[in-house]
Amino acid sequence: MTVNDPKTPDPDRAEQPVPDTRTGAEIGDPAVSSGPSALPGRGGKDPAPAPAASQSPFVPLKHPAFRMIWTATLVANLGTLIQNVGAGWQMALLTPSHDMVALVQGSTTLPVMVLAIAAGALADNFPRRRVMLAAQTFLLVVSAVLAAVAFLGWLTPWTLLAFTFLLGCGNAMHLPSWQASMRDLVPREDLPAAITLNSMSFNLMRSVGPAIGGLVVASLGPAAAFALNAASYTAVIFALARWNSPQEVRSLPPEKLGHAIAVGLRYVALSPNLSRVILRGLIFGSGAVAALALLPVITRDMLQAEARTFGAMLGAFGLGAIGGALAAPRLRARLRIETIIALAFAVNAAGLLIVSVSRTEALTVVGLMLAGSAWVSALSLFNVSVQLATPRWVVGRALSIYQTATFGGMAIGSWAWGALSDEVSIPAALIAAAVLLLGGGVLGRIWPMPDFSETNLDPANRFNAPALRLDLQPQSGPIMVMVDWEIAPENTQAFLAAMTDRRRVRIRDGARQWSLLRDLENPDIWVETYHVPTWAEYIRHNTRRTQADVESFDRLLQLHKGPERPHVHRMIERQTVPLRDDIIIPPKVP
């Protein structure tokens, strides 16, 4: 059955976006604001270059909604860091095993590796504010139960790991929605500063939170630290309840969870620049986590100190991270992204080496401050790179895949460095982590970090739904699309080169079974074909096109030599002849 536009539309106008200069903070996701029956084009001029990013990390605070949630996040981060001190020291009291102490850090980050991609799919398909509220409420309940169990003296090493794992699950569900919401809170030009400021909020509390946590643990015990953490989540719940988030009109039904996850994985796999960022994040997370994962036993065994010193060491790491966050905008303005990342790998490795040879608190503080400055510089830049390299419709999933790699690396690294310190020594584990980081820095010579500053990922929004004679429903399908091209023999190589990129974009955006056919009797005729599961997926496929994709499509139009624009056929597949037609054919309108 064929569904053709009687006016033979331009395939790149019918299946591509129209320039839209508004940022993600100003408009909704085109993929969720488009209906299955009609998607009028908007027209307009090419977007102007994005405004230069500010060199101050504090600019996003001028936006009231961001300021309110960021302030609440400060309180929650303070509670989290007090909780981390309590959990780490509680485990050190419960068992002498270095491996079990390191697993406290690993049990917090492992859930991100397991759940983040599903959480990213939820962030792209459901209201992010509601997802965050649910996650924060879950964290509040788990923290309160942990505090009660600790007060009753029922904690064992494994029950403590179970509770920290559940807290990690709550954070895993919260993070993709929170980070993807940055575009709703600030305009595009302030996005790098907002992400850096978000990292700074955690590390600002890291500079004082562990010291407060050490004081609380030393004077009141770990159970009090767990109770304070539970109370801190109320600040974020209150701020999210007050936030009047942008309302997205979702005419298309939400994607099924499994399908949405597959779409996100396919998008990242077919985006080489994103894959590079994620690989470097995996390596950095695996090596850089060594200082944090082993810090309880570094304090106890290498420095021969107590809980207050442990808190002070965490504070030194946080102070270094604040310094890195303050320097980040100026570094981005003066250095290439790859140069900053390579420096972060090297500086973190240097910090680990200093800690590995130190037996004094002062020298350990120096090493931890170096490691902290590199930590926030690298992780915030990875996050910015992913957000600026990803269209809005899939940003939650792209961020979650990045977080899965980075936090998964942290979880694996926490276990590996803990096991190595048990089998060999703590300094040996720190030196091995430093070697891994140096290798990650050298890897940039082969696969450097891309520069996304000029990439225009605004939706093109040119798609016009064809005038259908069949009464299709969103779930109708499968749909097959054919585009007819006429190419002169001398342009064959250029056409095939352009089609290679077109194939990648088609599959990345949801097409299946893409193929390119050549007519044996008339070699100038080429037919591009692909399938999508349903009519709703066909609409989504076309609204996912970005301005960065338009250039390759325009090259194909220039190569087409036919008197008319390439003809598009849209067909619905039928495996057998049904006893009755299940699709209504309305009468023609005179």
User: Tens digits of per-residue pLDDT, 249-298?
Assistant: 666 777 888 888 898 899 998 888 888 899 999 999 999 999 988 998 89
The pLDDT value given to residue 391: 85
Q: State the CATH class of domain 59-245+255-443.
A: mainly alpha
Residue ranges per structural domain of the chain: 2-21+467-572, 59-245+255-443
User: Tens digits of per-residue pLDDT, 68-113?
Assistant: 999 999 999 899 889 988 898 888 888 888 778 878 877 887 787 7
Q: Are residues 447 and 522 in contact, defined by beta-carbon separation less than 8 angstroms?
A: no
The pLDDT value given to residue 354: 96
Q: Are residues 207 and 315 in contact, defined by beta-carbon separation less than 8 angstroms?
A: yes
Give the C-alpha separation, 348 to 343, whole Å.
8
Which has more pLDDT, 386 or 583?
Answer: 386
User: Tens digits of per-residue pLDDT, 469-505?
Assistant: 888 888 888 999 999 999 999 999 999 999 998 999 8
The pLDDT-based confidence of 578 (bands split at 50, 70, 90) is low
The pLDDT value given to residue 559: 92
Strands 2-4 and 512-518: unpaired
Q: State the CATH class of domain 2-21+467-572.
A: alpha beta
The pLDDT value given to residue 307: 73
Q: What is the DSSP letter of 26?
A: T
User: Tens digits of per-residue pLDDT, 166-221?
Assistant: 999 998 899 888 888 887 888 877 888 888 888 777 767 766 777 788 889 888 88
The pLDDT value given to residue 587: 55
The pLDDT value given to residue 562: 76
Nearest to 129 by CA among 47, 208, 238, 252: 238
Beta bridge partners of 484: 527
Q: Would you say residue 450 has pLDDT above 50?
A: yes
The pLDDT value given to residue 211: 75
Structure tokens at 274: 């994103």
The pLDDT value given to residue 447: 86
Question: Could you give the percent of the chain with pLDDT greater than 70?
Answer: 85
Distances (CA, A) of 380 to 11, 52, 154, 254, 397: 39, 18, 39, 30, 17
Task: Lay out the sheet containing 525-532: strands in order across.
Answer: 2-4, 568-572, 479-486, 525-532, 512-518
The pLDDT value given to residue 422: 87
Q: Would you say residue 36 has pLDDT above 90?
A: no
User: Tens digits of per-residue pLDDT, 504-561?
Assistant: 989 988 899 999 999 999 999 999 999 999 888 898 888 888 888 887 788 888 999 8
